[in-house]
């Protein structure tokens, strides 16, 4: 018979019976998978993202430390020479590293002060988006009666170009940081809320959640172990993208004249000031320096946000 032929050919001395180990028997099916460790592992495999992460960390540190470094000028002080004349449009020098602007303010310190303003706006908008989006989204998904109302509000907001809403709100309210934060938050929570709503509807009654509940898993554990991993990738992505968006909106609003007032240094104000020298090649650095810093920040945050978003998606962990 065929099976006999096969067994005859096998050298029995190569094999031995395993002993029964009750501990190993219990280990079957256990994996030492850890969500955050896998996320970080996948993230650190992406070299570009790691480089940009260090760029972002250094930038953040630098914006905080910069005012305390030696030989820094105040971003709003108008510098004058010995005769009391304004030091207008000085080229970059050892004293004024990026030169001075048309009324004698130090461009180097204005850029970092502007970056602080923009990062603050971006992070605030991102956090508001998270809170409002997750809150509205879960109500939207759980409370059936509210579904048509929130859906209509969602439809109205998403039917109008975002730029128009931004302009309308910035036009109506007093110019300032708060106005920009409000104007951006009004439109931004919608996609987060919609995502959370769909997630709630899809995942709430999945078998593994049902099983978890039947086994008596407390709600906070279900939320943190079963739901949160799905949210983390989107949260990180949206938070990282809020910063380029905030900078872009601020630059745009300042450009059309309803952004931040001139006395608050911001990347928008700097680019707007620099734009006046677009026809003067010798002074064009006043536009180039802020845009260079702005581009580095926005690209770093964008690429890093996407990489972290991918890494924190459990589907990419295998």
Partner 1 sequence: MSKYVLKRFFRSILTLIAVITVVFLLMRMMPEEGYFGEAGTDKLDESQKEAILTNLGLRDPMHIQLIHFYSDLAKGDLGDSLIYRPNVSITKIIKQKAPYSIAIGLSSLGFALILGLSMGVVMAKEKNKLADKMGTFYVVIIRAVPPIVYYLFIQLYLTQIFKLPLLFDIDEPSSWILPTFAMALGNIAGYAMWMRRYMVDELNKDYLRLARAKGLSERKIMVSHVARNALVPMVQYLPASILFTIGGSIYIESLFSIPGMGGLLVDAIQLQDNNLVQALVLMFSVVGILGLFLGDVLMAMLDPRIKLHSSGGGR
Instruction: Name the residue nearer to partner 1 (CB basis): 166 or 232.
Output: 166
CA dihedral 113, 235, 166, 303 (to 10 degrees): 60
Q: Which of 90, 101, 193, 214 is nearest to 149 (CA)?
A: 193
Report helix angle 285-311 to 267-275, nearest 10.
Answer: 140
Whole-angstrom distance, CA of residue 140 vs CA of residue 148: 9
Helix (H, G, I), strand (E, B) or coil at 80: strand
56 token code pair: 């972002």
Stretch that binds partner 1, among 13-21, 27-35, 75-83, 294-302 (CB under 8 A): 294-302
Minimum CB separation of residue 63 from partner 1 in Å reads 18
- Identify the burial level of 191 via C-beta atoms within 10 angstroms of its C-beta, where 0-12 means exposed, 13-18 middle and 19 or more buried: middle
- A 10 A CB-CB count for 231 gives 18
Whole-angstrom distance, CA of residue 12 vs CA of residue 10: 6
Helix (H, G, I), strand (E, B) or coil at 106: strand
Q: Which of residues 225-254 bind partner 1 (CB under 8 A)?
A: 244, 247-249, 251-252
Residue 280 contacts partner 1 per CB under 8 A: no
Instruction: Name the residue nearer to partner 1 (CB basis): 144 or 220.
Output: 144
Q: Which of residues 113-152 bind partner 1 (CB under 8 A)?
A: 147-148, 151-152
Whole-angstrom distance, CA of residue 298 vs CA of residue 289: 14
Stretch that binds partner 1, among 3-11, 163-171, 202-210, 217-225 (CB under 8 A): 163-171
Minimum CB separation of residue 215 from partner 1 in Å reads 32
Q: Which of residues 199-218 bind partner 1 (CB under 8 A)?
A: none
Instruction: Name the residue nearer to partner 1 (CB basis): 218 or 257.
Output: 257
Instruction: Name the residue nearer to partner 1 (CB basis): 34 or 158.
Output: 158
Instruction: Name the residue nearer to partner 1 (CB basis): 91 or 161.
Output: 161
Contacts with partner 1 by CB under 8 A lie at: 147-148, 151-152, 154-156, 158-164, 167-168, 171-172, 191, 194, 197-198, 244, 247-249, 251-252, 255-258, 271, 275, 278, 284, 287, 291, 294-295, 298-299, 301-303
């Amino acid at each position: 018979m065929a099976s006999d032929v096969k067994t005859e050919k096998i050298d029995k001395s190569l094999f031995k019976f395993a002993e029964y180990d009750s501990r190993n028997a219990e280990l079957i099916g256990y994996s030492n998978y850890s969500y955050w460790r896998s996320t970080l592992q996948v993230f650190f495999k992406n070299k570009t993202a790691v480089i940009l992460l260090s760029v972002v960390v250094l930038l953040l540190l630098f914006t905080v430390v910069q005012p305390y470094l030696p030989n820094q000028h105040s971003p709003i002080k108008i510098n004058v020479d010995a005769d009391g004349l304004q030091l207008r449009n000085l080229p970059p020098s050892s004293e004024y590293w990026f030169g001075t602007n048309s009324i004698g303010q130090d461009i180097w310190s204005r850029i970092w002060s502007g970056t602080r303003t923009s990062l603050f706006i971006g992070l605030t908008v991102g956090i508001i988006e998270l809170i409002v989006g997750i809150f509205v989204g879960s109500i939207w998904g759980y409370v059936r009666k509210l579904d048509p109302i929130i859906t209509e509000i969602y439809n109205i907001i998403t039917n109008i170009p975002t730029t128009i809403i931004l302009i309308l709100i910035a036009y109506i309210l007093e110019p300032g940081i708060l106005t920009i934060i409000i104007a951006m938050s009004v439109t931004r929570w919608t996609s987060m809320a919609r995502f959370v709503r769909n997630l709630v509807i899809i995942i709430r009654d999945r078998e593994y959640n049902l099983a978890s509940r039947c086994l008596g898993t407390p709600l906070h554990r279900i939320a943190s172990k079963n739901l949160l991993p799905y949210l983390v990738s989107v949260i990180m992505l949206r938070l990282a993208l809020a910063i380029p968006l905030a900078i872009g909106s601020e630059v745009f609003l300042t450009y059309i004249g309803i952004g931040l007032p001139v006395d608050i240094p911001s990347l928008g104000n700097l680019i707007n000031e620099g734009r006046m020298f677009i026809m003067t090649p010798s002074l064009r650095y006043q536009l180039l320096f802020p845009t260079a810093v702005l581009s580095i920040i926005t690209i770093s945050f964008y690429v890093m946000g996407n990489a972290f978003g991918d890494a924190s998606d459990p589907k990419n962990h295998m």
